[in-house]
Structure 1
Amino acid sequence: MVWKDCIEGFSNYLKLEKGVAENTLKAYKNDINKLSNYLSVSSQVKSPLRVTKTDLDKFIQSLNEIEVATATQARIISSINNFFEYLIYDGSIKENPASLLESPRLSRKLPEPLSIEEIDLIIDKIDCETKHGIRNKAMIETMYACGLRVSELITLRLSDLNFDEDYITVIGKGNKERIVPIGSRAQKYISEYITNVRSQLASHPEHRDTLFLNNRGKGLSRTMVFYIIKDLAQLADIQKSISPHTFRHSFATHLIEGGANLRAVQEMLGHESITTTEIYTHLDRQYLSETLAMFHPHANK
């Protein structure tokens, strides 16, 4: 069996059996193609069914030599492991040669959220006299109000809005659906966008239900949202590294700082594990440490 057939079968398995999102699917395929390309050049291994742990160790070593980032290496190893688990499931092999591969230790990088004042500064820089400005304000208010990933924002549909009950339906990673509450301010700007901008656009047949559209009546790309936010941050003279995900970080951090229940925040973010949500408690811990250092009589002695 050749690599192409195995990768195609793996892709179909992830999509149909596991419900993996399109972007994740592409990442898996790219990772396995990297392994395939490496082995085709560096060894005699022509079939994925004959790959050994030694082959995989050499591949991982090659990633180290070209200084591939630790997080990327960890993702590639995960992809490889899932690929060979699929081949076992498919009956093509009996043992997983990647089962003993060790992922590099990842340092957990804490997100740098925006302050409420910085978010207001960014929003204030939007020119709401233009159609793009009305749309962009609605988008940013929605990201911050609901803690959405950029992929969730650009695929949000008109039919996902339930303003009578103050919530929206979000399709997250792995096509998992969740209900997220939405405040009156974000609802106001979305409604304004729908009434004054979107209703005037001739939407593409494939995007008739898509909420946020470009000039051609199609959905926005992740890259376009990224550049919109970068430009606004520059206008607001914010020096922090900022991306669409920054608003999701800020949403979670501000909720937890305000005393929100961690499980509730986990549910709104769509995190499978509570440990993923716990990363947003770092500011609370920092505040407590600073309070201790400032006020406890023995803290600095």
Structure 2
Amino acid sequence: MTKSIPSLITDFLEYLELERNSSQRTIRNYDHYLKRFADFAGEITPKDINLEVIRKYRLHLARYTDPKTKAPLKRKTQNFFMIALRAFLRYLTRLDIQTLSAEKVELGEQDPSPLKVLDEESLQRLLDAPDTSSKEGIRDKTILEMLFSTGLRVSELASLNREQVNLDRKEFGVVGKGGKERVVFLSDTACQWIERYLMIRKDSFKPLFIRYQGRVAPEDNGEYMRLSTRSIERIVCN
């Protein structure tokens, strides 16, 4: 007999903690987002989740207002709920539980964010923020120097491998949107920080930037050690 949606959500949260090594904050967020869906869906089974249920749930989110402030959910926040639901559906599929394919759950278009430009003083404060007496700080400093000297997308930076970067020529190649290849050039400062960062690395993992928290996972040339796009975004935004 298939478990109830709330019970499967609990299993999914435990999976995130044990198998995906997700942070407690991430798990709390998924718990919040998915409980909203469970409350909305009621007594249905995974098999009952279809496009009509998803359509009604999106309407529910779009029409929801905060009980205290009476403010509606922002489009970005609505998408967070749908992203969590897609991850849950992928988990169910992984367990061979019949349900709607996660790929069929679309996200709504977000409201355009106003462009924010850092002045020179603010940029320097950001670049100087990491504590370079620690290996995490040296990594973070290197990430910031690379981002702001090259204009790379965060996803492109996260996908870089060690062997891609040629420090002698101060350049590397990336494949961007649409599969287009381009050469990216490094500043002298960025090269110096990459060299310093690689000198303190005692591993032979393939990814250029790795995480230092959680279980060490040497499988697949350390691919599971790769620092995620979201982690890099937190480094930039903190």
The alignment's TM-score, normalised by the length of structure 1, stands at: 0.42
Higher gyration radius (CA) = 1
Greater relative contact order (CA < 8 Å, ≥ 6 in sequence): 1
